[in-house]
Every structure is written in structure tokens, then in C-alpha cells.
Structure 1
Amino acid sequence: LNMAMPAAYLKQFHKKYQTEEKLAELVKKNKVKKWTVLHTRMSRTYRPENPDLPTLDPWRNTTAPPAEQFIFERNPYFHRVDEAGRQLPYVDRFILNSSTSSIIPAKTGAGESDLQANAIDFTDYAFLKESEQRYPVKVTLWKKTQASRLALLPNLNYKDPAWQALFRDPRVRRALSLAIDRHEINEALFFGLGTESSDTLMPESPLFKPEFAKAWIEHDPEQANALLDAAGLSARDSDGIRLLPDGRRAEIIIETAGESTLETDALELVTDYWAKVGVKLFIRTSQRDIFRSRAIGGEIMMAIWSGMDNGIATGDMNPAQLAPTSDDQLQWPVWGLYTQSHGEMGAAPDVTEANALLELYKAWRMTSSMQARNDIWSKMLTIYADQVFSIGLLNATLQPVLRSSRLVNMPDTGLYGFEPTSYFGVYMPDTFWLNKDA
């Protein structure tokens, strides 16, 4: 939420303050269709790609895209100072190299980075740890804040009517969850260091309850089979694959962005688990930039992604991820779009429990009482866990963080995630500095 923007700079891109002729010229120059798109592009702060945009951040980007290397320089107008009155940040300049995600672990392990966590994963830890012997770097493990490191998201807005009806049946979602052996996934992919859990809050949250984490996660193929039978999938073909009411085989395509071997490794295991309960799984690699549009169009049957970003929430933090509120929620993108667009696009939720979550979310927004907010969170977590709208696998997994041995003021361990820690943001990177004598 931006409460204020630099008016002196941005007025030139707004029709209220710019002449029609000049605005048309700027629209054409920047190759956009209308001035609103231009204004949005020039004002984006979460993607600091406009070098001319005034900023309150510690550093400002000086490189215009497209580029493979972006240079950030300290902002002379930054507002924070240290205890001695010295203006922050300490680091005058840093360079951000843009690379293909698949080669970032190799480049990081080759000593090409002073600070790296993005695009490296737990599977890279052993390799990165070896780099400590060759380069002046240090590799540590931080706990990820995601409610589930990996989650399977059945699309309740999938365009196939038969599968849409099945995915909206909680018995099917619960069965698919119960069929998964999370303990084996934990041991195989995380050496047992993760925590088997549904897509819910972690013990670090004051709102955590064990029953949320344990909801429908026990490996129980027998119960999974019974639930699928009860949902109308009792018939099977000669291969043991269940048949839909219209006679088609129960074949589920799970799409992945293909950015992490963890996802494909986990899906290989899930393929075996689901086959034992009569469900055939196929893996399809898609592209991240078209995931949302394909999901909204009902083209993605099921996706593997991470669970809720904020797994350590408190009652005063927004519970929007538990309700259909955004079009980037792959389990109900059309309903999320409806809420996001204030009813102008998408479709209103027509599943009772999804509507209940949305009403609770609206109630949370209308109250300032901490007790009321805590109660609302608890009700939403109860519904979300019981309905298994997201099939979480594991949380409390570990994130490798590589840093230069010369980097000072950065903690050895911490919580790592987009929300609520803003990755390294909560640890005040404007106070980090490089000790040249180290």
C-alpha cells in the first residue's frame, strides 16, 4: 500500500497535470497503450526499474532495463541514521546481476556473490557449503516462513465440469492429502529437517494450534481409498486407475514452473502415492509468467507452488491468503479475481466454505479489536485446514544463505521469507557493511 508518491515527478505522467499532446508523446515513447499503464510503470516501487523515480529506500537503481546488471547507489536523502548519527546505509553501492535461475547456484558456489539466497535451495546446500573451502564466504541455514514449502493446489475453477465438481468435493481433496507420505518426502528431500504439516501457521505464530497442522496429513491410504469411493470414484479400469462418472480415467495433470528440482522430486514421489489409491498423475512444466493467466482461464488443473507466505502471522496481520481475494491464488483464481476487481471480473464464490472465509476476511478488516481479530483468524484457519483447499506437505524447511566473510552486522541465522520478514529487510540491510580488513 503506497500512502504517498513523489508528485513533482509523477505529475508529468498523469492526465490531470499533463497536456494531452505531451502525454500522448510519452505513451508512444514508452510503448504502452494508455497513460494509466505508463503512470503505473513509472511509479512502481516494488520493482525499482525506473532510475528517475525518487525513492525513500536506502539505495536507488541507476540502470534502466533491459539489462543483465543493475547498479544501485546509496540514496543521499535516506532518512535513517545509526546511533552515532551517521547516515545509513553503510554500503555505498551494490550490483545486482540478473541470470537464468538454473545457473545461479553454480555462479554462487563459484564465489560470484557477496550475498545470495534467491534462486538457491536446500538441494544446493552441500555444494554451496564446499565453497567455503575455496572462497571467503560463509553458508548458513535460515528457517523459511512459508506455511508450506510445497503445496498442491487443485483449481476449484478448472474449466472441465467433471473435474471441477470433484475438486470442489472436500472428500477428494482430503483423500489426495491422506494418500501422501510426508515423512518419506521429508526424509528424501530435506534429510528429515522439515516439519510435516498442512498449509497452516507454524509454532512461532501465537495463533498456531497443533490440530491445524495435523489436519488430514496422516499417511492413510485406506482412508483415502474410502473417501474416493464415497465421492463416486469407486469404479476402476484394468490398470487399477479410478474412473470418473463419465468413464474417463482419473488422471491429474500438475503444473510446475520448473524453477526448482524440489518440486519435480516431490511430484515423482506423489505420483507413486496417488497411483496406490487409483489416481494417475502427470507432471507438466509451464512458465511462471503465464501461470496466472492460464489459471484464471481454467486451463491449469492443479499446480504445485508454495503455501501461504506468512506462516508466523499474528492476529493483526492480514489473513487474505486464507480467502479468495486475489487472482494469483491458484486454488481459486476466478473467485480471487472477482474480489480483487470488486465484482467487475471473475465470478463470485459458489462454495459455502469459500464464501464463509471471504465473509470472515471482510469482518477482520472491519474490526480493530485484537481479540476479535484473533478469533477470526482462528475460525479461518479451522475452515481452511479442514477443507484442505491447499494440500500442504512440509514447513519449517531450511533456506541456504551465502554471504561474504567480510559482511558485518548480518545475523548468522534468522527467519527467511517474503512475509512478514521481507526476506532480509527485517534485519536492516542498510546497517550491513563490508570489512575490508577481514
Structure 2
Amino acid sequence: MNRSAKHRRKFRHGPALRGLALVLAAGLVVAGCTEADPEEGPTTSVDLGGEAPALAALVESGDLPPVEERLPAEPVVVTPNESLGQYGGTWRTVTQGPGDEVWFQRTIGYEPIVRWIPEWTGAPGDAEVIPNIAESYDVNEDGTVYTFHLREGMRWSDGEPVTTADVQLYYDLVSNPEITGTVDGISDSIVKGSTGELAALEIGDDYTFTLTFPEPSGVFLPSLAEGTSLMVPRHYLEQFLPDYNADLDALVESEGFTTWAELLAAKYDAWTNPDLPVLNPWMVTEPLGTSTAVVAERNPYYWKVDTEGNQLPYIDTVRYTVMNEPEVMLAAAIQGDIDMHVRHFNTAVNKPVLAQAREEANFDFFNLIPGLANEMVIMLNLTHQDPVQREIFNNLDFRIGLSYAINREEIVNTVYQRQGTPSQVSPQPESPFYSEALSTQYTEYDVDLANEALDRAGYSERDAQGRRLGPDGQPITFTVDNPGQPGFDDSLALISGYWAEVGITMTPNSMDRSLYEERRSANIPDAGVWLAGGGTDVVQNPYWYLPVSNRADYAQLWATWYTTNGAEGEAPPEATQQQMELYDELRATFDPDRQAELMTQILEISAEQFYHIGTVLPASGYGIVSNDFHNVPELIPDSYRVATPALTNPEQYWMSQ
């Protein structure tokens, strides 16, 4: 397969913000995808247009090169969703602070080497992946050789050129065991094949490089589209690396670190280090942890333009006010202090409150195509450090009994305002992977069935207070770590009562997001709760169905065993290993139909293993947007894997002045 865009016209037309039908209606051509007739992205011809007034002033004063010198020879041309915009304005949004960096990534940080199309559906294979940083790319017939062609003249936010030297250093870092997996954003998992062997990198010239895998890598391009650029700013990071800085020890000490790897991790963080050159539309100027807000200003070297050749982004500044609690964020939204947001407080519980306030606060809703598989999944720690707790949690009948004891209809009605359906973690009904058996098993509220399952588990004996006794003769009791997402507190309060009725003591353990992340990554909790992905992005987000990622909080050590090829962690049960083998085959398969077959088998085993306990399948979601904030689509795919709302190109959002 070959995916390349020819140099037929002056500029490439990049990711369109409308469906394919609209692209065709505009007279743009998309060729078929064959070896003889390579697929071409939509193209159009534009002349260079304007730039932000503040940048024009810097050009006039001689402090910034002219716009034609700041853009690559072939900038991405973005079609505005509704209209050409005007420059200016500050996008007001919110963040929970440390631990919530994903919101920065989803709004100003999504610039991978290839990217998702805005009308993404979650289909297997790479049909929904298009060039981004790469001007084009080619894939051989069996999916082992990937050649990328960078944009000549593209620059980092400090004006330095982007070349394959940046790719080479990225590869050197992910190949370094002292770095990979310990520095956020530097991981060898992306460039590893299903056997765990790194792809071989070959640099062709300043703008061409090739990665060759030892076997077909069927998920490589979709994995890149989730947010990997395959490059780092070499000219900046070399000073923090021992191969390039003879005085590095002194620098490490002067910066207050113990090792150069710690120093590198601190410097390679775009949200806390404003000196790090980036390729994003906006660059952080007031970093995380220094004030009550994170502020990002436009990147003068951003490499995308609109259809009139005007350099993007339109908006001058993005301001993230730090608010730890979703309730505080909700209050800000009601007061009209948030311009566009699609996280934290956009729950079914809060929608009636927001609907009542939207006219006075001058905002409206946009709709989300739900990507979640569950509003709140309860993850008992199957690899618990305590052997007694581990034995209890790994007892399938114990988990089944707890599931039967939950009155999901009551949770839907009282917590989620009658929005949603009782369900285990499951693909959405619209997904080709939907399984009624997986979705509905053990969801009936039946105290008798719950007690039967718990008795069958071997925990029929009780103390004087009616509490069931575990294998050590002590009452079965555990805590559930709760990061405080909307609906979690109320749901857990109800579930604690349900489980007490069948003799199980569960205590919610509320905490902020950063502590939750710290505890879960260290395999400390008895159990935890989170929103379950994999509702539409089933192939791209499989860890809710088998533990192949450190996000699989229900079995951290099994996931570690998988991700380290058995070097660390603990070997999982035979059925889980079978899933992992199927997933390895899926990763090595370039045929989307075969990928679908393998994913279906994985889901069947997941249903049998019943790793965790779901509650509610989400209804359609929503976000809020000010009436003075434009070019946000009315319907947006919602998934962690596609960095919602980043796939809609926030650089083309604009604000009435």
C-alpha cells in the first residue's frame, strides 16, 4: 500500500474538517488505494495569505522572519469547519492540574507524524490515518517497511529546522534502556514489532527515513496516529545527554537532579518546561505548577494554513485555569467562564444544570459520538500484593456475586439522570464488535443470585455482624480508590450499600487524580474505578478486554509481564496468555478483516474471564461551546485514542472579537 500526496500543486490540502462527501462536493479528488494508483490526499492550490497581527508586528520590527520563511514548502492546508476565521482571542478552559496533562494533549498537543481523519469511526486497519508532520508515507505490500517523507522547511517553535536528525535522536532514546519507558513520551513500544524486536531505522536524507519491522506491523500507523511524532528537538535535547555534553554531570547537579535521565525527563515536558521547542499550534509560556493557570501562546512557526493561505492558529492564547474539583469547573461553566470544553464535568448528571444556564451564560452544546465502554468500571486488583486479597479477587464467583448485587437501574436513574443502560464493559451497540453476551452478563440485580455466587466462591461463613469471612477467617473488606470523577462518589456510595447487603464491606477511598495515578501505577490499591474506554475504539484501545497496557489497573503485574516480554511482572493465567497471543497476531496482521476476527476471539475470552465489573453503558455525550467560539463541529467522535477534540483541528477554531 502506498499513501503519498504528489507535488502537483503549490500546497497540500491537509486534514479536512468535513466528511468525505463534502470534500468531493468541493471538487477535490481522492484517488483509489492500489499499488499502481497510489492514494492521494485531497489537494488544493492556495497562495500565502495573512498572519496574526502580533506576528506581523514582529516581522515589521525585524524580530521575526516573514511568514513565507516560517512555513514549510508544503504546509498542511486545513479546511475550516464552517468559515474562515479571524485572528485573536483567548480560549478559556480548565484543568485539574498535575495528573490531567491529557487535556493539554487533546487541545494543543496533538501533532503526530500521521493523524486520524476528523470523521474517524474506529474501523480496523489504517484507512482512517492520513499524513500530518509527514508530507507523505509509503508502506510495502506486507506491512513491514514504512517510509516517511518530512515537510521540507518545517521548523520547531524556536525556528530551528525539522529534519531526520530529530528522528534519529528519538530512535536513539527509545533504544536506550535507561530512558525508554521512564521518560514520558519516550517509549520503545511504538517501534516494536509483535515479537518485541525494534524496527530498524534507516535515514535516507534530511527529509526521508524508513522503519523496517521483522514481521508485519498491522497496528503501527494507528498507534502513531494516537499522538506519536517519532521525533524530538535534537538541537535542544543534546545538552541533556551524556553523548553530547561533556559537562553534563555539573549541569545535572546545578539543576538539582540525581541522574541525567531525571534531568531529561524534566526538560522533555512541554507542559512544565516552556523552553522545550514544540510543533504544536500553541506553546506553553506559563507552565504547569507555577501559578493558578497554564497559558499557551501561538507558535509563530506553526506549519498549517487555512484555505486562503492564512497561517494558523486563529486564536492567540489558550488559558487553562487550574481547578481541582469538577464541581468548581461546573460552576465556572454556569457563569460563562469557559469557552469550549469536553471533559471533567460533561456528565449526564450535570447536563440539566448546564441546559438551564446556557442562555444566560451564552453557550450551547455539541454532541459526542460515545467512545466509552462504561461510565464507571470497578477494577478489583487481580495482582494484589496481599495474597489473601489476591485470592479473593481472583475468585470468579466472587466477582460474579458482587456484580449481581449491584442495582444498575437505580444507578442509571439516580446518578446518571436516566441516561445510559446497565452494562458490563463492552463495545458500544453501534460497534461491529458489540456482543450482547459480554454486555449483559451478570447485570441482573438479584440478591439471591449474588448470595449463591458468593457462597459458591467459598465465603458462606459470616461473623456476628453478617460479614462474610475470607480464607484467613477475617471479614472480607477492601477499599476502592476513587479519583472523584462526576458520578463516582454517588455510584460508589450506592454500591457500598448493595454489597453490605450480601456481606461484603467496601469503603470508597476518595483522592485527587495525581494521588490516584501514583497509587495505581505502583500497584497499591485494593481496587479502583475509572471510565472504561474501548466502546468504539476497540482495536486501538484493547486493554479493557485484556491486560496489555499499564492502564489495565485490574492486573498491573500481568500487563507488565506482557509489555516486558516476561522480564518483569507476573505470568497471567493460561486464558489471559491465550488472549495475549491472539493480540500479538492481531498486531502483526496487516489485513483489517483478520484483525477483526482476532479481536472478536479476544472479546469472547474476555467475557469468560470477567476481569472487572461494569455499571452503565454511556448514552451520547456532549461538550459545551460559547456562542462566540466558532468552527467546532456539531458532532465529534469521542475517544481517548483519538484525543477528542484534537482530531477536529483546534487550530481552526476562532472567536468573535
Using structure 1 for the length normalisation, give the TM-score. 0.90
Q: Which residue of 1 aligns with 2:220?
A: none
**1:261 CA displacement:** 4.8
Amino acid at match of 1:379: Q
CA offsets, 1:336-369, max 9 Å, x none? 23333444443232x2222222222222222222
State the Cα distance separating 1:104 from its structure 2 match: 1.8
Pair 1:232-2:458 in alignment: yes
Cα shift at 1:57: 1.5
Equivalents in 2 of 1:356, 1:176: separation in Å?
26
Distance 1:130 1:296, change over 3 A: closer
1:110 deviation in Å? 1.8
- Correspondence for 1:171: 397
Structure 1 stretch displaced more, 184-193 or 136-145? 136-145
- Whole-Å separation in 1 of the counterparts to 2:505 and 2:372: 28
- Name the counterpart of 1:156: 382
Task: Give the secondary-structure state (helix, strand or coil) at the position aligned to 2:576.
Answer: helix
Q: Deviations over 1:53-75 (max 9, x none)?
A: 22222211122442322322222
How far does the alpha carbon of each residue in 1:88-107 deviate from its partner, in whole angstroms, 9 at most, with x for none? Answer: 22212222222222522222
Contact 1:117 1:399 in 2 (8 A): no
Which of the residues 307, 312, 334 maps onto 1:88?
312
Residue of structure 1 in register with 2:555 after alignment: 332
- What is the deviation of 1:318? 5.1
Which residue number corresponds to residue 10 of structure 1?
Answer: 237
The separation in 1 between residues aligned to 2:251 and 2:426, in whole angstroms, is: 46
How far the C-alpha of 1:232 sits from its partner, in A, is 0.6
Fraction of identical pairs, as percent: 26
Distance in structure 1 (CA, Å) of the matches to 2:620 and 2:256: 42
2: distance between equivalents of 1:40 and 1:280?
41
1:331 CA drift (Å): 0.7
- Please report the RMSD computed on the Cα atoms of aligned residues, expressed in angstroms: 2.3
2:280 maps to what in 1? 57
Q: What is the aligned counterpart of 2:368 among 142, 158, 173?
A: 142
Could you say which residue in structure 2 is the equivalent of 1:43?
268
Flag the 1:261–1:365 CA change in 2: closer, same or farther, 3 A: closer
1:171 maps to amino acid = D
- Relative distance call for 1:253 and 1:359 in structure 2 (3 A) is same
What's the counterpart of residue 405 of structure 1?
A: 627
Instruction: Give the Cα–Cα distance (whole angstroms) in 2 for the partners of residues 416 and 213 of structure 1.
Output: 20
8 Å Cα contact 2:367/2:622 also seen in 1? yes
Aligned to 1:376: 598
Conserved 8 A contact 2:397-2:453: yes
Distance 1:160 1:314 in 2: 32
1:245-394 correspondence to structure 2 within 5 Å: 245-257=471-483, 259-295=484-520, 299-307=524-532, 309-313=533-537, 315=539, 317=540, 319-349=542-572, 351-394=573-616
Structure 1 spans left out of the alignment, 5+ residues: none
CA distance in 2, matches of 1:402, 1:54: 31
How many residues are matched?
427
Counterparts of 2:263 and 2:568, CA distance in 1: 22
Question: How far apart are the structure 1 equivalents of 2:563 and 2:592?
Answer: 25
Q: Match of 1:427, as an amino acid?
A: T
Distance in 2 separating the partners of 1:34 and 1:252: 38
Task: Give the one of 17, 24, 35 matched to 2:249.
Answer: 24
SS in 1 for 2:361: coil
Judging by fraction of residues, say which structure has more helix.
1
Q: CA deviation at 1:428?
A: 1.7
The Cα of 1:398 is off from its aligned counterpart by 5.1
In structure 2, C-alpha distance between the alignment counterparts of 1:414 and 1:204, rounded to whole Å = 15
Is 2:271–2:287's contact at 8 Å kept on the other side of the alignment?
A: no
Q: Is the CA contact 1:417–1:423 (under 8 Å) kept in the aligned structure 2?
A: yes
| Post-superposition offset of 1:153 | 0.3
Is residue 70 from structure 1 mapped to residue 294 from structure 2 by the alignment?
Answer: yes
| 8 A contact 1:69–1:96 mirrored in 2 | yes
Is contact 2:547-2:555 (8 Å) kept? yes
Partner SS for 1:62: strand
Give the number of the structure whose alpha-carbon radius of gyration is greater: 2
Secondary structure of 1:392's partner? Answer: coil
- 8 A contact 2:479–2:506 mirrored in 1: yes
Unpaired runs of 5+ in structure 2? 1-227
Answer whether contact 2:370 2:536 (CA < 8 A) is retained: no
1:360 and 1:89, CA in 2 relative to 1: closer, same or farther beyond 3 A? same
Paired AA for residue 33 in structure 1: T
Q: TM-score, normalised by structure 2?
A: 0.61
Deviation at 1:328, TM superposition (A): 3.5
CA–CA separation in structure 1 for the residues paired with 2:513 and 2:567? 25
CA contact (8 A) 2:421 2:616 kept: yes
Q: Would the aligned equivalents of 1:138 and 1:403 in 2 still touch at CA under 8 Å?
A: yes
Q: Distance in 2 between matches of 1:2 and 1:341?
A: 23
Residue 94 of structure 1 aligns with an amino acid whose one-letter code is V
Q: Is the 8 A contact 2:376 2:615 kept in 1?
A: yes
